Amino acid sequence: MLRRSALSTRAFLKHPISSASSFSLSQRRSLVPSSPVKRPESTWAAATTEAHRVVTPPPATSASTATSLDDPLSAINSEIGNLKSSLWRMLGSSNSTLDTVAKYYFQAEGKHLRPLLVLLMSQATNGLGGKGWDGAKLEAARRKVDDSLTAEGGVLNDWNPEVSGPEPSSGLGSMVFASPFRIPEAGASAIPEPEPLPSQFDELLGGENGQPVILPTQRRLASITEMIHVASLLHDDVIDASSLRRGTPSAPSTFGNKLSILSGDFLLGRASVALARLGSREVVELLATVIANLVEGEVMQLRATSEPEKAPTAKGFEDYMRKTYLKTASLMAKSARAAVVLGGCGSVNEEGTWVKDVAYGYGRNLGIAFQLIDDALDFLPPDPSLGKPSLGADLRLGLATAPALFAWETQPSMGPLILRKFTEPGDVEAARDLVARSDGLQRTVELAREFAGEARRLVEMLPESGARDALVQLTVKVVERVK
């Protein structure tokens, strides 16, 4: 069987694979295990559950010490608990209706992948900024990030220190989203060891056993990323007319479109207030551009459904990958970079600037891999736990994702279905059949593995730690998840 890289424009256009090498739904073991009588916990759920134990070390007992040595993913449960309580305090509104709708999606148990990424990246990189780490600790202790967001004064008059540091250069921050983000190996040379936290900060900032702590500003950043993500879900469900979200009635179907839109706007407003209190212009700019990226991605998606490509082209696939970055990976990439900035990297004589590029590249590659698998799962039999409204939810919205775009190369009859946005009776089923008779799913998973593998290579540039090991494991499990 001829193997191709989905990243090659020439291969994408000129080297079709015969139908004899197709990847059928019955051959999807790399995506989903066979269904037993009792459905086991998914590898993705297991990975995130384990990662939820990494960020805060367990109580210092002999038993817990042994566990942490055996399992690098061993200490984040209390951090996730703090995240939930912090979010609840930030979401309150004096308007009871707005209060109810704004909190609606937070009641469901989600993956918390985005705040998890912020917390793990913080722990894996804190101390790598040299003198910048000392300044970050002092600044975090000075910032009143946990104060009420509606308290008078403070925010607008706070000193907002300017943190300089270039965005990734054209060589590092490639805008070609069909290619993984890469950093030359030389970028990891002369890696400094994290400086131990001075004892006077241990009680204030939660340090334990000499391991770099997660600063209060970084914890608040984790909450902000989740608020931005949930705001985007509220808006997306209105645009997509989704009736379900994570297996429960969506906010628009429960409260209506107007309240859902207003609640999403409310979350973005609260997130903006909290963001300003972090005291870093660079971080504010990063997260503000995320919000713009989410809108740009949604507009690209609307255009893709109204003006679909008339043939399988490299440009069409690049547009799909760019939209994937804007709607999914941008938040992961820029929040991971923001976590590193808050840890002091790149803030003093640009020491540790390379760590910011590592964090950005890791989040970008992991986010794209995550979305590619999500698009592949849309072609599998329905499962109420997946959170998608039904089998072929993307197709019913008129969206041609990676499996369909790859299938189009060897299945010309996919073209008319895409052009009419799968609107005629039987179109969704026909598209699924064409994908099953092609190598579309296989190539989508292979591409996800390439992005996840590059994310792993990037994060392995960081010094060894439990948090780094957890980030590595996420890159492995992201392509094995079933929901």
**What is the chain's length?**
483
Give the Cα separation of 289 and 283 in Å (integer). 10
CA distances to 7, 137, 193, 314 from 205, rounded to whole Å, are 44, 8, 20, 49
Give residue 117's pLDDT: 87
Give the Cα separation of 341 and 141 in Å (integer). 16
Query: In 437-477, which residue ranges form alpha helices assigned H by DSSP?
Result: 440-459, 466-477
Lowest mean pLDDT among 199-203, 218-222, 251-255: 199-203
Specify the 3-state DSSP secondary structure of 151: coil
Give residue 130's pLDDT: 82
Residue 473 and residue 54 in contact, taking contact as beta carbons nearer than 8 Å: no
Q: Closest Cα to residue 120, out of 394, 401, 332, 286?
A: 332
Give the Cα separation of 54 and 471 in Å (integer). 10
Q: How many helices (H) and strands (E) does the chain have?
A: 21, 2
Instruction: Report residue 140's pLDDT band, with 50, 70 and 90 as the boundaries.
Output: confident
Give the Cα separation of 415 and 431 in Å (integer). 10
CATH of 43-56+80-149+161-477, one of 1.10.10.10, 1.20.120.420, 1.10.3720.10, 1.10.600.10: 1.10.600.10
Q: Which of 6-15, 151-160, 289-298 has the highest mean pLDDT?
A: 289-298
Percent helix, strand, coil in the chain, to 5, is 60, 0, 40
Lowest mean pLDDT among 19-28, 35-44, 400-409: 19-28
Give the Cα separation of 337 and 346 in Å (integer). 11
Lowest mean pLDDT among 2-16, 106-120, 255-269: 2-16
Name the pTM for this structure. Answer: 0.72
Lowest mean pLDDT among 243-257, 309-323, 341-355, 403-417: 341-355
Q: Which two tokens stand for residue 272?
A: 């903006």
Please tell me which residue, 238 or 46, carries the higher pLDDT value: 238
The amino acid at residue 240 is: D
Residue 267 CA to its chain's centroid (Å): 18
Q: Which of 29-43, 58-72, 387-401 has the highest mean pLDDT?
A: 387-401
- Domain residue extents for the chain: 43-56+80-149+161-477
